[in-house]
Structures are given as structure tokens and as C-alpha cells.
């Protein structure tokens, strides 16, 4: 439980009373009550208000807000307000603003605007966090700490350049080791002095966002920037913890945000929290996968849904309304996949600046007579009725999909073989094939304990980090099923190729050698042709993007390419390794193939679907003290039926007993217990 002060699914969201006059606050209190809101995240962007100059701290307004909310029965997730520094600080200490990747020194403006390696910023931000903790550590409303906000953005200032050199000294020890890791003999980039190293920006090694001359330095800079921002977070964390000993501390993450290695971050978070902003056309399975990833950051520990919009966003190209029922449906989707909170950005819509067209529980109309408010209030009531029953419930997936930020950076920075390969989209293909069949999946990091799973899937595991191959081998040896794909096993943690033959460190496990890798031009495709019928798989399936030209070295060939000069070469292989199997998919297959393939694998392992139901119905399960809770979510506009077996179960939301076939109405939700 995040905090046992409030033993239910928290409901509420971001709240910025400092943007409003006092008469509005009373109305807020009334409407929060009406909507069943019990948690407000406050103080997210109040640095300038609390600290109007270098020496002055004024907590009076915050005191008042906290007391008022408490009186009204609203608990508080208290932010440290360091998501954007005050204007006076940028003027007085220009070093707190960033230098961007184009090499431009920035002036005051925006958010995500602080130089993470500015000593001034670090000092002031940690000091503020400490003061807040000291002051409010015992406030009865306090239930969680929220450090800064949506950390992100890279900096290329001289402070970061200096810190980068220090970080490199720690990582590599000697310039020789660094020169080797970056292969600086290429293009004669050998460094003879640490001072010769400059940040990899558009002024040096990079261009077009992800193009670089040297993958080594660019990869390390991503690590370093993720680390620098994490240091800022940790400085605040420590400053809070000095005073506030047991209130959980988090910062809100952003799903598949590319710039930070969230697995590394999660180590230092008491609870993961994240902001979920799908569009009207985001696949439902993509959102599901992202929830699962957030849950996976701390190996299955429930997380906080820190932000979602009650209806509309403002920063997308086309900001559609959430259709009736969709806010509730997507809220339960979060809960189904591990969220123990349902929080919004934001409780009241702002009157000016760039987020004023972002939806809120209280819209600009200002009253409760809106569709959005009504839907929020209905959900609020429902969550009150649900109480704490679901809190801390866990998943019990036997299938894991590996996702790794360093692998993503390396793939993205790679010059060749194709620009068509998008790691996240590729991972999503595999996830979607399991999602469509109602099979539970955990999204896990490269350091996760694999022995919990029957099947581990590592799509495009381009970078194989130290120790992983041995762990994968042990997993298969012990009976596990391992799946990886084309363009895997290529490089080590420094993006240096593992010589001797692809897939390098995974070669022994997979029993194949990939001699060449063909990149297909747009419009080109090949086929995966099954050697023989294999349960759900038979005949031919389209594939593309890349085609590895592989030779088996012990593995069995299950399918071959259907065309081009490598027609007849293996396209799908399996290697028996100890008690388990290791599969290699040599090209990027279509959805039909992947559904059949994973259907077969799950059948082999007796991993059953959660439910028998058509696509469009999402199934997920949480288990607590041995009791399973089966979530059925209907994302379509018509009623759908799911076969749930003859044993009767209770729908937590309606209180009704259900057995046999459950009919879930359009946009409807069931939570079947037992």
C-alpha cells in the first residue's frame, strides 16, 4: 500500500490553487467532495511563489492550501516545485539555464529548463525539497512526495561537459580504456587528455537528433544525462528523507519516454508513478504495454497513475474528446495493470498559458453540470465503493518481454542497416500478438530475474550487456523458452561489435550464425514459409524491414525465406538447449505470424489465455492473497461476450454473480473476483 493513511485507490490529481483567487478555493472544495476526490497533487510549479528571491522562503500560501485541503478530507501528494526554476534565478545565475543540442545558451523560459549540472540549481532545488520536508513531514494530509515533474531534456553546457569528463573518468578509469570503448582510432579521434573530450552535440558529433559519428560517446552521453537528472532527483530525495522518514517518494515518469533509463531510475523511487496520455488513435494494446512496463520497472510492484486527462489534451496535433465512458474504461485499464491510484492532470483548468485547453475535472465552465464532471464523479463514487480490496494485488504472468533503454539508444544511434526499424514499435508487435490472445505479459528490464517466467521474449536485442547471455542460457537450460530476433546479439554495452559472427554472445544459445543482414527498401517484403504445419502456423507470412541471412549451427529450421536470393535460407529456427528452447525470428514478421507463433509457444507451456473472448475485449488479472481479480474491458462500441467458465465469480463493480458467458457492454468494465 502506498500509504495506509488512505487505504483505497487514490482519486484526484494535479491542483494549482495558486493560479486562482480565494473565492474559487471554496468552490474547489465543494466540487472535490462532489467528485469523490481524495488526493490532490499540489505545489508542482510553485517555486517562484515560495521563493521570490535567493534568501526568502514564504510558505504561507502553501500552509493555507494544505490545511484547507485537509479540512476538506483531501490528502496531499506534495511536489517539490522544482520542475521549473524561477525567473529571478535565471537572471541572477545564468548557469541554471541549459545549452541545447544545437549549442545555444538558453534564456529563461519554458519548463524542463534547468541545467542538471549547475551547482546553483542543485543547491537551490535540494534546499527547497529539504525545507518542504522539514515543514510538512508531519502534516496529517501528506501521503506522498512528488519530486520535480516529468524529468527530461538534455543539456550541453560547459558545466555538463566538465561533469561528463568526471563521469567518464569513473566509468573508464583511463583514456586508453575510453579510446578502446569508443573505437576512437576510427577517424583518428584518439583522446590524449580528458579535456579534449567535448559534449556530443550538433557542434561536434551529432546531427538530426539521433545521428552521430561516434556511437560510443553518444551512447555514454545519454547514460550520463539520464544519470545527471537522476542525481538531481536523488539530491531532492535525500533532502526529503532527512526529515520525512517514511512517506513514499516518487517522481512522475512518462512511459516510453526516450531520454531516461527508467529501470535505473526506478531503483531510487519508492513507488513508480507515471503520466498516461494516449490519443484517440493510440492502440489500446500500446497503452496496456506501457502500463505493464511501468509495473515492470519495480518488478511488479503496483504503481501510481499520476496523470491522465479527464477528456482532452492540448499538446497533440488533434485533441479529440475522450468518448463517453472512455475515461472510466482507461482508468480501470490502469488499475487492471497495476495502478493503485487514478489521478488526473488536472483538477481545475487553467485560465491562461499553454495548457488551458487541457481537460480537467472542473472545466472552464466552472460547475458540475458537464459531461466530464459527471463521468469523473461517477468514477469517484465507484472507487469509494471499491475501497482497498484491489490494493497491492500483483500480476502472475508467465511470459516476459524484455525492454531495455540502452538497447534502444544503441539501436536508434546506429548508422545502418535501416532507418525503418523502430525499437518500441517492434516490441509492441510482439506484445500485441500476446495481448490479442488475452495472455498476460510482464514487461521486464535486462536485469530482471528470468526464472520467474516460462517464456522470455527479447525482440531486437541488439545490445547484449555483460552477464545477460549467461542468464539467458541458464534460463533455457532449466527449461525456459527464449525468443529473440534478427539484428540481435550484435554489440556489447559499448556498442562494439561482438566479433566472430552474429548473434555474438547469443550464438551458442540460438544455434545459428547470421552471415549477412539485408535491409529492405520501402515497399519490399519477403516471406516466412513454414517447413511444415505447426499447430497455428502453416503456409507463408509476410516479413520485412531486415532479413538476417542465417545458417543453423545445431538449431532446427522451422521456416525459410520465400523469395530473393536467400530464398530457402532459414527464417525461423529453434535450438534445443538443455531442457528448453531458443527461437530465432530472422526478419520482422506480420501480426498473423506472431499470433500463431506465440499461440503455439503458450500452448507448449500450458499458458492459457485469461479468457476466451474476441479481440476488442481486453483482459487482465491481478492477484491478491491468492484471490484472482479478472478485469474485462470492452474497448469497442458494441457489447462483447467473454467465456469465463462455469465457476461463478462476482463483479466487484456491479456486485453481481457472473458465470458462463459474461456480456460486457460497449466501453464497459467488469472486475470478476474469484
Active site residues: 150, 307
Q: Which of 303, 468, 533 is nearest to 456 (CA)?
A: 468
State the Cα–Cα distance between residues 338 and 159, nearest whole angstrom.
39
CA-closest candidate to residue 310, choices 252, 361, 266, 270: 361
CB 417 within 8 Å of CB 517: yes
Q: If binding is defined by CB under 8 A, does position 34 make contact with a copy of itself?
A: no
Q: Which is nearer to a copy of itself, 68 or 551 (CB)?
A: 551
Q: Which long-range contacts (CB under 8 A, 24 or more apart) does 202-209 make?
A: 202/101, 202/102, 202/103, 203/102, 203/103, 206/101, 209/101
| Per-residue interface string for the shown chain with a copy of itself, residues 133-162, x marking contact by CB under 8 A | ------------------------------
| Number of residues in the chain | 674
37 three-class SS: coil
Q: Is 190 in the site for a copy of itself (CB under 8 A)?
A: yes
110 or 554: CB nearest a copy of itself: 110
Sole binder of a copy of itself in the list 93, 167, 182, 423 (CB under 8 A): 182
Indicate which single residue of 418, 552, 557, 600 sits in contact with a copy of itself (rule: CB under 8 A): 418
User: Binding string, 462-481, against a copy of itself, x = CB under 8 A?
Assistant: --------------------
Query: According to CB under 8 A, which residues from 96 to 115 bind a copy of itself?
Result: 102-111
Q: Which of 31, 69, 76, 90 binds a copy of itself (CB under 8 A)?
A: 90
Closest separation in Å from C-beta 109 to a copy of itself: 3
210 contacts a copy of itself (rule: CB under 8 A): no
Distance (Å, whole) CA 324 – CA 207: 44
Is 394 in a helix, a strand, or coil? strand
Mark 569-588 with x for binding to a copy of itself (rule: CB under 8 A) and - for no binding. --------------------
What is the side-by-side order of every strand in the sheet holding 39-42?
249-250, 142-146, 75-79, 39-42, 10-14, 339-344, 303-307, 273-275, 252-253
HSE of 283 in the Cβ direction (CA atoms, 13 Å)?
13
Q: Report residue 494 CA to chain centroid gap.
A: 24
Among 317, 466, 532, 626, binds a copy of itself (CB under 8 A): 317
Helices (H), 173-214: 175-182
- Spatial separation of the C-alpha atoms in residues 473 and 193, rounded to whole Å: 41
Does 323 participate in binding a copy of itself (rule CB under 8 A)? yes
365 binds a copy of itself (CB under 8 A): yes
Among 34, 49, 424, 608, contact with a copy of itself (rule: CB under 8 A): 49
Which of 23, 353, 606, 625 touches a copy of itself by CB under 8 A?
Answer: 353
Q: Which stretch binds a copy of itself (CB under 8 A): 397-405, 414-422, 527-535, 638-646?
A: 414-422
Which residues lie below 8 Å from residue 422, measured CB to CB, with a gap of 6+?
none
User: Facing residues of 618 across strands?
Assistant: 633
CB-based contacts of 510: which residues, under 8 Å, 6+ apart?
Answer: 484, 489, 503, 555, 573, 575, 582, 584
Does 590 sit near a copy of itself (CB under 8 A)? no
Binding range to a copy of itself, per CB under 8 A, among 242-250, 295-303, 361-369, 580-588: 361-369
Q: Is 149 annotated as a binding residue?
A: yes
Residue closer to a copy of itself (CB basis): 372 or 441:
372
Residue (73 or 110) nearer to a copy of itself, CB: 110
CA distance 330 to 339: 11
The DSSP code for 506 is G
- We find the least distance from the C-beta atom of residue 594 to a copy of itself, in angstroms, to be 23
Under the criterion CB under 8 A, does residue 554 sit at the interface with a copy of itself? no
Window contacting a copy of itself (CB under 8 A); options: 28-36, 300-308, 319-327, 528-536? 319-327
Q: Cβ 9 to a copy of itself, closest distance in Å?
A: 26
Residue 175 vs 433, nearer CB to a copy of itself: 175
Site membership for a copy of itself, residue 48 (CB under 8 A):
yes
The answer to the question of whether 88 is labelled as a binding residue is no
Q: Are strands 399-402 and 441-444 parallel, antiparallel or unpaired?
A: parallel
Do the beta carbons of residue 253 and residue 274 sit within 8 Å? yes
Q: Is 68 annotated as a binding residue?
A: no
Total chain residues near a copy of itself (CB under 8 A): 116
Q: Identify whether the C-beta of residue 318 lies closer than 8 Å to the C-beta of residue 347.
A: no
Under the binding rule (CB under 8 A), the answer on residue 495 touching a copy of itself is yes
Q: Which stretch binds a copy of itself (CB under 8 A): 13-21, 333-341, 393-401, 534-542?
A: 13-21
Answer for which of 12, 13, 153, 216 binds a copy of itself (CB under 8 A) is 216
Please give the Cα distance from 25 to 362 (Å, whole number). Answer: 12
Determine contact, residues 296/338, Cβ cutoff 8 Å: no
Closest CA to 233 of 185, 205, 274, 269: 269
Question: Would you count residue 415 as binding a copy of itself (CB under 8 A)?
Answer: yes
Nearer to a copy of itself, 303 or 345 (CB): 345
Phi first, then psi: what are they for 631, rounded to 5°?
-95, 130
The answer to whether residue 67 forms part of the interface with a copy of itself (CB under 8 A) is no
- Among the candidate windows 140-148, 416-424, 425-433, 616-624, which touches a copy of itself by CB under 8 A? 416-424
For the CB of residue 98, give the shortest distance to a copy of itself in the complex, in Å: 10
Rounded to the nearest whole angstrom, what is the least distance from the CB of residue 14 to a copy of itself in the complex?
Answer: 12
Annotated binding site: 111, 149, 315
Annotated binding site for substrate: 111, 149, 315
Amino acid at each position: 500500500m502506498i500509504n495506509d493513511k488512505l487505504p483505497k485507490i487514490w482519486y484526484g490529481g494535479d491542483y494549482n490553487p495558486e493560479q486562482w483567487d480565494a473565492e474559487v478555493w471554496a468552490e474547489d472544495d465543494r466540487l472535490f467532495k462532489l467528485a469523490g476526490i481524495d488526493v490532490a497533487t499540489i505545489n508542482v510549479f510553485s517555486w517562484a511563489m515560495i521563493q521570490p528571491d535567493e534568501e526568502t522562503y514564504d510558505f504561507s500560501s502553501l500552509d493555507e492550501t494544505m490545511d484547507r485541503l485537509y479540512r476538506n478530507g483531501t490528502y496531499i501528494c506534495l511536489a517539490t516545485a522544482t520542475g521549473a526554476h524561477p525567473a529571478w534565478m535565471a537572471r541572477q545565475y545564468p548557469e541554471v539555464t541549459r545549452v541545447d543540442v544545437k549549442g545555444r545558451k538558453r534564456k529563461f523560459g519554458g519548463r524542463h529548463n534547468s541545467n542538471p549540472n549547475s551547482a546553483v540549481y542543485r543547491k537551490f532545488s535540494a534546499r527547497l525539497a529539504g525545507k518542504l520536508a522539514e515543514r510538512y513531514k508531519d502534516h496529517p494530509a501528506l501521503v506522498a512526495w512528488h519530486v520535480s515533474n516529468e524529468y527530461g531534456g538534455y543539456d550541453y553546457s560547459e558545466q555538463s561537459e566538465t561533469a561528463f569528463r568526471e563521469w567518464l573518468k569513473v566509468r573508464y578509469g583511463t583514456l586508453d580504456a575510453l579510446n578502446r570503448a569508443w573505437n576512437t582510432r576510427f577517424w583518428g579521434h584518439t583522446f590524449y587528455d580528458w579535456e579534449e573530450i567535448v559534449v556530443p552535440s550538433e557542434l561536434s558529433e551529432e546531427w538530426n537528433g539521433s545521428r552521430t559519428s561516434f556511437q560510443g560517446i553518444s551512447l555514454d552521453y545519454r547514460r550520463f544525462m539520464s544519470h545527471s537528472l537522476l542525481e538531481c532527483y536523488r539530491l531532492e530525495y535525500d533532502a526529503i528523507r532527512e526529515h520525512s522518514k517514511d512517506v513514499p517518494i516518487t517522481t512522475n515518469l512518462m512511459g516510453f519516454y526516450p531520454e531516461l533509463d527508467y529501470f535505473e531510475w526506478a531503483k531510487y523511487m519508492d513507488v513508480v508513478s507515471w503520466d498516461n496520455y494516449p490519443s484517440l488513435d493510440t492502440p489500446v494494446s500500446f497503452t496496456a504495454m506501457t502500463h505493464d512496463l511501468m509495473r515492470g520497472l519495480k518488478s511488479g510492484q503496483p504503481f501510481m497513475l499520476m496523470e491522465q486527462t479527464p477528456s482532452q489534451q492540448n499538446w497533440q496535433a488533434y485533441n479529440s474528446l475522450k468518448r463517453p465512458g472512455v475515461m472510466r474504461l482507461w482508468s480501470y485499464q490502469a488499475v487492471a495493470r497495476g495502478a493503485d491510484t487514478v489521478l488526473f492532470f488536472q483538477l481545475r483548468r487553467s485560465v491562461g498559458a499553454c495548457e488551458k485547453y487541457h481537460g480537467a475535472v472542473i472545466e472552464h465552465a466552472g460547475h458540475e453540470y458537464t459531461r466530464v464532471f459527471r463521468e469523473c464523479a461517477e468514477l469517484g463514487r465507484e472507487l469509494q465503493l471499491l475501497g482497498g480490496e484491489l490494493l497491492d494485488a500483483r500480476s502472475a504472468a508467465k511470459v516476459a518481454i524484455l525492454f531495455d533503454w540502452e538497447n534502444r539508444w544503441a539501436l536508434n544511434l546506429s548508422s545502418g542497416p535501416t532507418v525503418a526499424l523502430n525499437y518500441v514499435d517492434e516490441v509492441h508487435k510482439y506484445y500485441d500478438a500476446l495481448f490479442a490472445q488475452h495472455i498476460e505479459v510482464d514487461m521486464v528490464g535486462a536485469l530482471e530475474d528470468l526464472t520467474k517466467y516460462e517464456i522470455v521474449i527479447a525482440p531486437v536485442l541488439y545490445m547484449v550487456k555483460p552477464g545477460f547471455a549467461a542468464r539467458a542460457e541458464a534460463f533455457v537450460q532449466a527449461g525456459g523458452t527464449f525468443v529473440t530476433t534478427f539484428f540481435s546479439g550484435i554489440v556489447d554495452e559499448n556498442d562494439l561489435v561482438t566479433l566472430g559472427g552474429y548473434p555474438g554472445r547469443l550464438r551458442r544459445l540460438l544455434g545459428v550464425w547470421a552471415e549477412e543482414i539485408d535491409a529492405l527498401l520501402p515497399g519490399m517484403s519477403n516471406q516466412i514459409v513454414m517447413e511444415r504445419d505447426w499447430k497455428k502456423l502453416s503456409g507463408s507470412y509476410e516479413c520485412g524491414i531486415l532479413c538476417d541471412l542465417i545458417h543453423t549451427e545445431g538449431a532446427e529450421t522451422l521456416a525459410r525465406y520465400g523469395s530473393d536470393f536467400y530464398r530457402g535460407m532459414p527464417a525461423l529456427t529453434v535450438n534445443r538447449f538443455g531442457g528448453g528452447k531458443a527461437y530465432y525470428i530472422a526478419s520482422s514478421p506480420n501480426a498473423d505470424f506472431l499470433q500463431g507463433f506465440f499461440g503455439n509457444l503458450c500452448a507448449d507451456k500450458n499458458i492459457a489465455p485469461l479468457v476466451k473472448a474476441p479481440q476488442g475485449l481486453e483482459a487482465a488479472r491481478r492477484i491478491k492473497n491468492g484471490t484472482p481479480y479478472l478485469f474485462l474491458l470492452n474497448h469497442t462500441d458494441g457489447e462483447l461476450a467473454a467465456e469465463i467458465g462455469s465457476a461463478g465469480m462476482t463483479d466487484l463493480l456491479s456486485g453481481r454473480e457472473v458465470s458462463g458467458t459474461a456480456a460486457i457492454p460497449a466501453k464497459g468494465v467488469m472486475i470478476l473476483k474469484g
